[in-house]
Amino acid sequence: MLQQSGWEEKIHDQAEANRQQPLGLYGALIIEPKAAAVKYDADYTLLLGEWRVTEGKTYPAMELEGMLPNYFTINGKAYPSTETIKVKQGQQVLLRFIGSGQFIHPMHVHGQPFEIIATDGNPVPETARIKKDTVLVGPGERYDVAFTACAPGKWLIHCHINHHIMNDGREEQGGGGLTMILEVTPLSRGWQQLAPSFCAFCV
């Protein structure tokens, strides 16, 4: 019986884990609290993965010579095929980063400072939270980060290891791999004058 509210876990098979997990046999199990303290307007789970593709065949990516990853994905897709997150200025946004592979990924959010509100399914007390724009996600780790969409425009969410944002060493449409777009629609023209106080640190 699972009783803890607001809990999340990466689920995967333990048989032949060195092959099955790197080839995509995993997912996210999320238990929502009955009475959430904050209702998020946008809630996205982002599974970070790595792959070794050689001569049209996909292999498990590992820290071994000849098996290092050359493709990196968010929810199984590499940029520019990754999803675009579309929100409106002032909306509450929750991103759930999950390290589903075997490599670390410092995930950076442009233009929208966030707070880490939970780690590995455990809430972070409000008094222990700090503003950040990058979180280091290791294998099997889970980080929930929350922010109020403040600065309008198209912003990047991406890994800060350079070859993790390329596809087999090449850029496509200005990027690749662990990259996605966060599109924030402004409240109105002249948003800097009309925006509430949550935008003060983004301008």
- How far is it, in rounded angstroms, from Cα 57 to Cα 33? 41
SS3 95: strand
Query: In which residue are the tokens 């946008």 written?
Result: 42
Write the pLDDT tens digit of every residue in 17-70. Answer: 666 666 666 778 888 877 777 889 999 999 999 999 999 988 888 887 888 999
Model confidence, pTM = 0.84
- How far is it, in rounded angstroms, from Cα 139 to Cα 103? 6
- How far is it, in rounded angstroms, from Cα 106 to Cα 164? 10
Domains of the chain, start order: 7-199 (2.60.40.420)
Report the alpha-carbon angle 34-114-95, nearest 5. Answer: 50
Q: Which residues of 78-92 are buried (b: 16+ CB within 10 A; e: fewer)?
A: bbbebeebebebbbb
Which of 128, 130, 184 is closest to 152 using CA atoms? 184
Write the pLDDT tens digit of every residue in 134-153. Answer: 999 999 999 999 999 999 99
